[in-house]
Structure 1
Amino acid sequence: MSFDAVAQQPKLLYLLQTIAAFAAVVCLILLALHRRPVRRRSAALILLTPALLLLMAGLLLPALRTVLLSFTDRGGEAWAGWDNYRWLLTDPRALVALRNTVAWAVLVPLTATAVGLLYAAAVVRSRFRAFALSLLLMPMAISFVGAGVIWKFVYAYRPAQDGQIGLLNQLVVAFGGEPRQWLADSPWNVLFLIVAMVWTQAGFAAVLLAGAIRAVPAELIEAARLDGACARQVFWRITMPSIRPTLTVVVLAQAIGAFKAFDIVKTMTGGQFDTDVIAHDMYDQAFRYGETGHGAALAVLLFVLVTPFVAHQVRARRGRG
């Protein structure tokens, strides 16, 4: 037996013991409730307790530890105060990552939602609606890493005297232009990365918005047409107000996903050429450069940026309920 296999045995044994202990606790709770009935609310609280404990152990405690690490030095041992946050607001690379993250959070949800909305409005009344929506939804079945690899080939560059393997440069050369290094040309390369994200997410927006458009009461549309409203007026004055809750949820979901962008950046540029984002820089600082405090500070900043969007989404869902 190899050394690695021997080293993995204690971890596997610990995992099995944890699962067995959790199963035993759940069985004891169910047995206690079966023998002594309690009120519905009390029973619900008791049944939720194991899950809440797991959430606390898996989410709350690591989050608190990350906050503490953000105030420590490189090794995560000595107290550094606000030094990591000062670095975050003054370091050129960190500022580039923050700028790019804001660009992603603004452009991805707006563009993906706009493309999805226009596409949904165009095909929602078609006989081939399901097929048309499935075409736009297909890229969502591809992982972000796969999408990054695909679009990296689309933007691939070779010198003018060599044959082009990138689709975009091939089109440029075919029309008499010179090939360009699209992913190395800052700041436009950030937009080229965003295109890959929009390509994967537009289908999600189109499917949800198509369902919302179909749910608009036909009586409202018919009444507007009888009043002399044209198709454009019906869309902007009847359809859009009716689908606004779904539109809000789609935009918020896209924005949250954009804040967490990592795979596409890692696959296509590795954060080079001023394309870094907070999620990727956080990984590099903590695991590539060993700057635990810097990585933790970036993680806290990302959490702060995402929290308002998550809170608004939860509030929107409660309003719909």
Structure 2
Amino acid sequence: MLTVFMIMISCSLFSLKTYRYLTTGPNNRSTAMVPDKRAQCEYHRTEALMNNASHLELPPVPKYSLRNDRVEPVSLEVTRFFTTLTRSVCRDFLVLILSPIHNSEGDLENYVKLIYSLDYPRHQLSLAFGEDNSHDGTLVKARSVVEKLKTMGLRRAEVFHFNFSDDWDSDSWMKEHAYSNQLKRRSHLARARNLLLKSALKDEEYVLWIDSDIKSIPPDLIQQMVYVRGDVVTASCLVADNGGGGRIYDKNSWRETELSRKRQESLPLDELVVEGYVPSVRQYLPHLRGEGRRCVPVDGVGGCALMIKAECHRKGLIFPETLFERHIETEGLAKMAKHMGYSVYGLPFVNVFHS
């Protein structure tokens, strides 16, 4: 409990440091006189602002999320309090956007609009698709989309074609959320992610994983994630509903509880633990809003919108293709990250919406 408490304090206090850009270096990249040689984010929020959330109306944090996928709406004042950044912050890093795609032809036009909507210097962005044996026109469409993205001023954009789906038929993909498919399916997805990462990563400082079928993202998504200065950072992934708050789509972003850890201790090491099939005794990321923090420590992450420091990947952080502490793919990555000593955070007030 003390460790979690200290991490939560750091989520508030890291924002109090101020780094001023002093000069402009090669390729119009700012340099700063800070302990780290790379330019850092410039923080403008005061200690009083960051530590004075007591006046805000926040939903209570449930002891366990159970079967509750409902996200209670919060006021615009609350959202702004926890997400407002000045436009100039966190724009000085090279970011690689990676998206695995399979039978995604119908999603890619909207995907282009999402990338176009990002309020981030395009000459700092690279993008790569990893197409895996689609049965529609995804590969052709992706190549067309890449050419369009190049005209937007990205550093580079490319498509990699991977054909290792021989053991994963289209009927299985149609039943992608069936529990019996999860180990095989998630292992396959992890392999696709790792191969895309190995093929595409060059000199970038951050890797942003975005699902190709995301419907909307905040324009400052990259800045919000970089601002945390965490090693692994995930946003909340919701689907819209008529109630104004939304429902949780990606239940892979969660925090362990004492009970969830205890239950796992009794399981065989070769048993896969996944969310969404039985009442959860964990706490889903969006349900942690009531803690009143811009970022919160979590133990599992999903891949809808996931940012990872490239250096972590270079030092061996991957998406486990086999079980790692009873988890696989994105949740397995979070478990591996913590095992390697990396920080894992979630942004409960930064929402991406799934189609």
Normalising by structure 2, report the TM-score: 0.23
Q: Which has the higher contact order (CA 8 A, sep 6+)?
A: 1
Q: Normalising to structure 1: TM-score of the pair?
A: 0.25
- Structure showing the higher helix proportion among its residues: 1
Larger Rg: 1
